[in-house]
């Protein structure tokens, strides 16, 4: 109860006004009302984000963001001696990407509408290679609007000094702490997971923390369903994420069962990467068509024109290929046991140190000496 009272006192009092025992709870205390409102109503991300953690935000507000430790060649963390880095180069580069994305969206996107995939004449006359090619190109043309919005939001934060993530091994400042996408990795993805890991990055990290790592069963299904709820109420969102569950699980099964056969020699690995790149791009495009169309009828019209072929293939893969058991839950249980053991050891060490200190004080008083015993060190 005392800890709870201290936490609530900390919400409305500055750290300088707290007692030493209250400062000990500073890491665990709730943010103050001003900090909470500042983080929630952060004007830099009010339009398009990107989502950022409270820890990173408060470090930026308090001016601690640029004083980060950089790993050196010997593996130790060393404080970088440079002055606060300038974001000018990063902002200029991202604004250039915004301009190109906007230009691409206003020109090419209008020439290659996604809706043409469900055009009756196109469905009746186009061959399968033509359908697959147009599907990929039309969804490729639909992505620059997301590139524009997220990159502009990232540039706005960088211009204010937020987003610095230390220096690379060459001493170059990195401004991708809250970046929401990596365009090159998206377009060159050779797996479903690689695409998802580089698309809407901050939201994906949030979903991983609040859902995937806490789910006791079917974490992939629960995470995709939560993502659909987070996006909104359009039926196309739910159809996309339900399809995404099938595609993710099937892609994982194929990768686990076949990838190790294609790692050597390099020519075979290159062939494997080309095949998986083409398969990933078509699968991603097939999956997200309802996300763009939004309505349920045109979405089913599109999938019907493809005879639900990728849905059927994914189900067959899951039924026929052996699925390796995930080590996530086992690792989680092991981490819990290790954490409990660590806490127990720390408590025992703390009790031992306190007992030793008390014993020393009694001995010192009895002997009436001026010497002091040094505390135990681990």
Residue 41: partners with Cβ closer than 8 Å, 6 or more residues away: none
Give the integer Cα–Cα distance in Å for 194 and 248. 11
Q: Cβ(281)–Cβ(190) under 8 Å?
A: no
pLDDT at 197: 93
Task: Going residue by residue through the chain, which has 378 residues, state the pLDDT in tens, using 9 for 90 and above.
Answer: 444 433 444 444 444 454 544 444 444 568 899 999 999 888 888 777 788 889 899 989 888 766 554 444 444 444 445 566 899 999 999 999 999 999 999 999 889 999 999 999 999 999 999 999 999 999 999 999 999 999 999 999 999 999 998 888 888 889 999 999 999 999 999 999 999 999 999 999 999 999 999 998 899 999 999 999 999 999 999 999 999 999 999 999 999 999 999 998 999 999 999 999 999 999 999 999 999 999 999 999 999 999 999 999 999 999 999 877 655 544 544 454 445 444 444 444 444 444 444 444 444 444 444 444 444 333
Q: Cβ(181)–Cβ(150) under 8 Å?
A: yes
Q: Cβ(312)–Cβ(321) under 8 Å?
A: no
Give the integer Cα–Cα distance in Å for 176 and 184. 14
Cis previous bond, 50, omega within 30:
yes
pTM equals: 0.75
pLDDT at 203: 92
pLDDT at 363: 42
Residue ranges per structural domain of the chain: 182-324
Residues annotated as catalytic are 200, 231
pLDDT at 28: 56
Give the integer Cα–Cα distance in Å for 292 and 142. 8
Query: What are 276-289's pLDDT values in tens digits?
Result: 999 999 999 999 99
pLDDT at 322: 84
**Ramachandran region, residue 79 (left: φ > 0; alpha: ψ -120 to 50; beta: rest):** beta
Give the integer Cα–Cα distance in Å for 239 and 244. 8
CA nearest to 167, candidates 90, 66, 93? 66
Number of alpha carbons in the 13 Å side-chain half-sphere of residue 59: 16
Query: What are 294-303's pLDDT values in tens digits?
Result: 999 999 999 9
Q: Cβ(172)–Cβ(152) under 8 Å?
A: no
CA nearest to 290, candidates 333, 228, 223? 228
Structure-block tokens of residue 121:
């004449």
């Amino acid at each position: 109860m005392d800890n709870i009272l201290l936490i609530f006192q900390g919400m409305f009092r500055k750290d300088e006004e707290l007692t030493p025992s209250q400062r000990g709870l500073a890491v665990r205390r709730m943010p103050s009302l001003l900090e909470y409102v500042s983080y929630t109503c952060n004007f830099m991300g009010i339009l398009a984000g990107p989502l950022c953690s409270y820890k990173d935000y408060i470090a930026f507000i308090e001016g601690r963001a640029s004083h980060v430790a950089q790993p050196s060649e010997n593996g130790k963390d060393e404080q970088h001696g440079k002055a606060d880095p300038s974001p000018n180069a990063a902002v200029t580069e991202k604004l250039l990407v915004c301009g190109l994305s906007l230009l691409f969206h206003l020109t090419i996107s209008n020439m290659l509408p996604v809706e043409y995939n469900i055009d009756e004449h196109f469905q009746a006359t186009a061959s399968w290679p033509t359908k697959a090619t147009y599907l990929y190109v039309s969804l490729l043309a639909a992505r620059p609007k997301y590139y524009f919005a997220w990159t502009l939001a990232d540039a706005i934060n960088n211009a204010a000094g937020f987003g610095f993530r230390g220096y690379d091994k060459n001493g170059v400042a990195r401004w991708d702490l809250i970046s929401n996408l990596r365009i090159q990795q998206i377009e060159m993805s050779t797996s479903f997971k690689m695409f998802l890991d580089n698309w809407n990055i901050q939201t994906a990290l949030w979903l991983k923390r609040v859902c995937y790592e806490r789910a006791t069963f079917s974490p992939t299904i629960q995470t995709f369903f939560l993502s659909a709820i987070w996006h909104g109420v359009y039926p196309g969102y739910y159809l996309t994420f339900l399809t995404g569950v099938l595609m993710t699980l099937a892609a994982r099964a194929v990768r686990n069962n076949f990838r190790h056969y294609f790692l050597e020699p390099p020519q075979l690995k290159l062939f494997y990467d080309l095949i998986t790149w083409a398969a990933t791009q078509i699968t991603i495009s097939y999956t997200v068509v309802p996300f763009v169309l939004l309505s349920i009828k045109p979405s089913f019209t599109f999938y019907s024109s493809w005879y639900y072929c990728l849905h059927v293939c994914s189900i067959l893969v899951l039924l026929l290929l052996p699925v390796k058991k995930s080590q996530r839950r086992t690792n989680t249980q092991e981490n819990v046991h290790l954490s409990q053991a660590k806490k127990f050891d720390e408590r025992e060490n703390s009790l031992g140190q306190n007992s030793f200190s008390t014993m020393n004080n009694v001995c010192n008083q009895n002997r009436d000496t001026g010497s002091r015993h040094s505390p135990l060190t681990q």
